[in-house]
A = this chain, B = another copy of it.
């Protein structure tokens, strides 16, 4: 059945697989000290226009958030995030598992608003009892957000400014960063992100790799003893090459961006097909995740024909469902969805 369930339902982009095959027999040293990781890091530094960047490779998103955030914070500090943030809701307490609290601010369209962040920090230090409370030690944003929305350059600049005022590192979760950069309306580039945040990751798992996220500390600012920190969180891969080879391929000849463009093109078609069929969008999303409010009967009928994912209950009779495109979504897949939606109206 055609699937819009997620951007991790197929394997990896064929070029990534080819790179793995081509290098498979070449021996190299372990734990990320190999030439593939080195080459991938160089390509990423270039794509970020951040020649001083430290680039490290980890296997998955929740792991990356927990490992990097716990390295950026002092013991017991908390990370400020929108209450819809992945670390707040859908990581099973991985941040708390490292001893840090997630300090939440109500989301605005899936995002953390700069004004809300500033108010939070001002109120915190204005409180006579702040030493009895969890001290904000990092700020977490995701781009795209969990609702597929994007920060504007101006919004990122403001967040960055606040974090620098308070000397708190700004961390960006880029699980779907490619899709954010490829969105038609965005004014944010990879070098912008490298310039404005203190650490971020370029998502591989959801953007064409088998697994892997590239963590970037843009100003040679990897935390001291970061490799040991990664190791003690069980996140250091013996065959680091698996990550290096994939990111080397993804950042050769702009593959990462082309993957994302395909997903965005398909997402725009998907949006058109959904709107054409009279579906109400839950929130407007410029990226590869589209959220639709659907009447429950229709939803069940549609589920017989294509795969999508349940997002949340909307009301007694409606549900929010999610459609996701990826490198492997084809125009034919969209056509199948259009036809399936057409049958619902009968």
Contacts and interface: CB of A to CB of B under 8 A. Distances in A.
Contact of A132 (B24, B90, B241): B90
Interface residues of A, dominant DSSP: loop
A71 B75 CA distance: 8
A66 interface: yes
A6 interface: yes
Interface string A192-229: 00000000000001100011000000000000110111
A132 B91 contact: yes
Interface stretch (A93-101, A158-166, A180-188, A247-255): A93-101
A237 B133 CA distance: 15
Contacts of A8: 30, 238-239
Contacts of A67: 234
A227 B100 contact: no
Contacts of A74: 224-225
A21 B16 CA distance: 11
Given A14-B24, A210-B20, A236-B62, A131 B231 contact: yes
Contact of A75 (B70, B78, B131): B70
Contact of A211 (B9, B94, B239): B239
A315 interface: no
Nearest to A66: B234
B24 A12 contact: yes
A85 interface: no
Given A74-B225, A75-B75, A239-B210, A94 B233 contact: yes
B231 A126 contact: no
Contacts of A211: 59, 211, 237-239, 242
A166 to B, nearest CB: 14
Contact of A94 (B30, B90, B232): B232
Contacts of A63: 234-235
A314 interface: no
A60 B10 contact: no
Interface in A261-305: none
Nearest to A137: B225
Contacts of A97: 76, 99, 232-233
A345 to B, nearest CB: 26
Contacts of A307: 27
Interface string A115-142: 0000000010011110111110000000
A114 interface: no
A228 B91 CA distance: 9
Enumerate the 9 nearest inter-chain pairs by beta-carbon distance, A residue then B residue, closest first: A63-B234, A11-B24, A92-B231, A92-B232, A93-B134, A3-B27, A9-B27, A8-B238, A96-B101
26 contacts: A8-B238, A10-B24, A10-B25, A10-B27, A11-B25, A17-B24, A25-B328, A59-B60, A60-B236, A60-B238, A62-B231, A71-B75, A74-B224, A78-B96, A90-B133, A91-B232, A92-B133, A92-B231, A93-B100, A93-B232, A94-B231, A96-B134, A97-B232, A97-B233, A135-B228, A211-B242
